Amino acid sequence: MDVIVCVKHVPETAEAELKIDPSGKAIEKSGLVYDINEWDDYALEEAVRIKEKQGGTVTAITIGSDDSDSTLRKCLARGADKAVRLTDPKFEGSDGYAIAKILHAVIKTLHYDLILMGMQAGDDGSAMVGPILAELLGVPHATMVKKLELDTGAAKVNRELEGGLEEQVEVKLPSLFSVQTGINEPRYVSIMGIRKAMQREIKIMGLVDTGLTENDVGPAGSWLSIEKLYVPPVEKQAEFLKGTPDEMAAKIAEILKAKGLI
């Protein structure tokens, strides 16, 4: 079973305070910690588990600058056999459509039984690369996958629907699955493991290697063009309690008492 896993190197923003940069079209990146996109981390883990059970190879592919190498090293340390980084100044400013075209140009030349990736990325959250890539490759797909079981020539997957419901779908291989968080428990990769992966080769490819033109990628090859970023307008704001932690805790308790909740 040859598995390709597509990963993205993104800033961790869940607990960070974000600022918009002077261009108004991006956030200030300085001070942010980057890591593998959370959803892709689950896809990577699933790919490695399949390899461990069935044999075969795992190839990790990313599009980004050389900073993305740390995410690829994580993939290699976790159990990927090969790592490919697609880097070109012309790729910058690509939306999900342009990204899918770049991935398609490279993946169509590789052998695969399965393509895995996160169902969305924590930065733009577009949730479109997987199904577009599947259409371009002409393979079936399923998104929001929470469980994956392989059979001969097919996979049975559970897709997450709303309200806790799931649907089970049978999909013929080769196919593409975009996974939802919680499909597995990604294993911890030690610093030693990542250090060892420093010795491994990362294959680097650019626009010329893809056979695409400048018009296919970057802003020219994208559907969307960012006008401006802004902090969401606050319609309602909580009344912030002030003071030392002890004082603030006491205020909560008083509020609860006043409302008859304790």
DSSP designation for 195: H
150 binds other proteins (CB under 8 A): no
Tokens standing for 77? Answer: 């340390």
Asked if 167 and 186 touch (Cβ cutoff 8 Å), the reply is no
14 binds other proteins (CB under 8 A): yes
Phi, psi for residue 161 in degrees, rounded to 5: -105, -170
Choice between 35 and 166, CB closer to other proteins: 166
Considering only residues 17 to 76 of the shown chain, the ones binding other proteins according to CB under 8 A are 17-18, 20, 27
Largest CA distance in the chain: 69
110 binds other proteins (CB under 8 A): no
Tokens standing for 192? Answer: 């030693």
208 binds other proteins (CB under 8 A): no
Considering only residues 213 to 242 of the shown chain, the ones binding other proteins according to CB under 8 A are 222-232, 234-241
Considering only residues 112 to 141 of the shown chain, the ones binding other proteins according to CB under 8 A are 119, 122-132, 134-136, 140-141
Tokens standing for 224? Answer: 């969307």
Here's the x/- map for other proteins, 163-182, by CB under 8 A: it reads as: xxxxxxxxxx--x-----xx
Asked if 105 and 91 touch (Cβ cutoff 8 Å), the reply is no
Q: What is the nearest approach in angstroms of other proteins to the Cβ of residue 98?
A: 11
190 binds other proteins (CB under 8 A): no
d(C-alpha 173, C-alpha 210), whole Å: 25
Q: Name every residue whose Cβ is closer than 8 Å to that of residue 258 and which is 6 or more positions away in sequence.
A: none
Q: What is the nearest approach in angstroms of other proteins to the Cβ of residue 157?
A: 9
Which of 45, 158, 189, 197 binds other proteins (CB under 8 A)? It is: 158
C-alpha R_g of the chain: 21
Choice between 142 and 217, CB closer to other proteins: 142
